[in-house]
Amino acid sequence: MSFSNYKPSRLAALPSTLDPAEYDTSPETRRAQAERLAIRARLKREYLLQYNDPNRRGLIENPALLRWTYARTTNVYPNFRPTPKNSLMGAVFGIGPLIFLYCIIKTDRDRKEKLIREGKLDRTFQLSR
Amino acid sequence: MLKMIIPTMMLLPTTWFSKNNLIWINLTTHSLIISLIPLLFFNQINNNLTSHSTHLSSDPLTTPLLTLTAWLLPLMIMASQYHMYNESPLRKKLYLSMMIFLQISLIMTFMATELILFYILFETTLIPTLIIITRWGNQAERLNASTYFLFYTLAGSLPLLIMLMFTHNNLGSLNIPLLTLMTQNMTTTWSHNLIWLACMMAFMVKMPLYGLHLWLPKAHVEAPIAGSMVLAAVLLKLGGYGMMRLTSILNPLTEYMAYPFLMLSLWGMIMTSSTCLRQTDLKSLIAYSSVSHMALVIMASLIQTPWSFTGAIILMIAHGLTSSMLFCLANSNYERTHSRIMMLSRGLQTLLPLMAFWWFVANLTNLALPPTINLIGELLVVVTSFSWSYITIALTGLNMLITALYSIYMFITTQRGALTSHIISMKPSFTRENMLMFMHISPIILLSLNPSIIMGFTP
């Protein structure tokens, strides 16, 4: 039996029924899958209990969401470590454009100032000041 | 001038001696009446100065900012009513006293004739803001935020003190109208470069400039609503105001020294606008949008042409009102859901349609829709930077595009789409909140009809 030519892409993962690894897994993998399913089911049950509770008035507090927002906003710097890729990105997007813009704008302005001083720039219709 | 300072100072005894159920009414009414007084200063005979006393004066640069400050105090008081509801009367009165103390220092800062008085009051405004952020903020990160806020601003402004002393020794007086007549010959020596840097750094940190802006998202997010409003609307403008005052004594060095800061502003506009597109926290998005708008003001102040100063003043007023309104809207969301995460409160247009209208108008003014004053300010700044150098139009144009993108993103995420399914009870909009939004947007609309009063020195 040959499997289909379906390949996973960036936005579509391979479904487990088309994955050949699914059909000959060991009992340990099965046990791990069952444990993860148990955790997911427990969390979903807790959420649904709160969701359908008739006496609930406020928001459901989702600890995973809170941890995610905390990690995205406040906890960035303590976990930062300069790596080659990091430093390259910082240099290319942080410092590079400043130097690049300085060179371009300085040469352009020097050229314009020189033309103005020599009186060669045509500013007859210049309205903005 | 005393007709403004004495009533504002008297708001303090009004707070402490009012009956507990009348504090908010008394303060809101009286501060609204006081906010009408700066409107008297708009009628100026000439562009020079309307001197109110030997130490306080107002001129076309100061008066719009003063009106903004005075208008903002009743708005801050109205916005704080909900989250102060369960506090003891003593704490309520302390909070209001902090706001009034801040207001007094801000009024006198904008009116100061002498630069040393301006500096002292500039530093004085830090203390009540610090107390508001640290004591009444909502998360544990507020301690970190207030430390960043205090030390960034202090470290930036200490060199300014030294330079003011030095200039006073050189020129004999730091009276603002006299400074426009006296000149220091600033050359390109190292010491004069350092003088320029020392004078400008305080305001660069305050504005904030892109590289030194780290305190702003923290302080804005952690502050309570009144703190956020006053920070975004007025305290940032102190930096712009100071820059515009000090550039008169720093010529002709500004032409050479301004380049790094101009590059930082140009690139910083784009970087902070792009950061806005990937924020989870709503207040953080509005804080970064403040940095982006202020980068335009820094650019305008450093180019120093008449139109750019006009654009800077208009942009400061417009941004003050718009940012403050966005923070009020974010706060109305926060009061209902107790979370600042944008994804948790989507599709609010179905629940609160009038509030959706205010969100819409606030986001439209944020993206500088014609004919609001936001557009006029941005347009003047973009036009003058184009005439300064043709290349800047690429960056400022890209910034306007990204500003439109994140404003619409903010609107669509919070208002459009399906409601999040777990929100089952949301209080309807209070009249107080609708009034608050209206009082924010009505000056913008009225000023769009006649912006010449806030145009500063030129027209």
- CA dist list (Å): A93 to A21, A58, A90: 42, 43, 5
Q: What integer pLDDT is reported at residue B315 of this predicted model?
A: 95
E strands, B68-121, in order:
none
Is B420 an 8 Å CB contact of chain A?
Answer: no
pLDDT digits (tens, 9 = 90+) for A60-72: 888 888 899 989 8
Segments in chain B below pLDDT 70? 45-47, 459
Residues of B in contact with A129 (CB under 8 A): 305-307, 384, 387
**Cα–Cα dist A87/A99, whole Å:** 16
Residues of B in contact with A94 (CB under 8 A): 271
pLDDT at B337: 87
* pLDDT at A55 > cutoff 70: yes
Residue A1, pLDDT > 70, answer no
Minimum mean pLDDT among A4-8, A36-40, B123-127, B171-175: which range? A4-8
Whether B281 contacts chain A with CB within 8 A = yes
pLDDT digits (tens, 9 = 90+) for B144-201: 899 999 999 999 999 999 999 998 888 888 888 888 787 777 777 888 888 888 989 9
Confidence of residue A129 (pLDDT cuts 50, 70, 90): low
What's residue B45's pLDDT? Answer: 66
Distance from CA of A33 to the nearest CA of B (A): 29
Quick check: A107 pLDDT over 60? yes
Query: Tens of pLDDT along A94-106?
Result: 899 999 999 999 9
Q: How confident is the model over A7-33, as a mean pLDDT?
A: 85
Please answer yes or no on whether B284 and A102 come within 8 Å at the CB atom: no
In angstroms, rounded to a whole number, what is the distance separating the alpha carbons of residues B375 and B231? 22
The pLDDT value given to residue B190: 86
**For residue A110, what are the CA distances in angstroms to B193, B392, B397, B435, B445?**
20, 15, 23, 53, 42
Instruction: Look up residue A119 and give its amino acid.
Output: G
Which pLDDT belongs to residue A3? 64
Q: How far apart are the first and last CA of chain B?
A: 25
B409 touches chain A (CB under 8 A): no
CB burial readout B340-376, b (16+ within 10 A) else e = bbbebbbbbbebbeebbebbebbbbbbbbeeebbbbb
Contact criterion met (CB < 8 Å) for A105 and B391? yes
The answer to whether the complex's ipTM is over 0.90 is no
Better-predicted residue by pLDDT, A7 or B267: B267
Mean pLDDT of chain A: 87
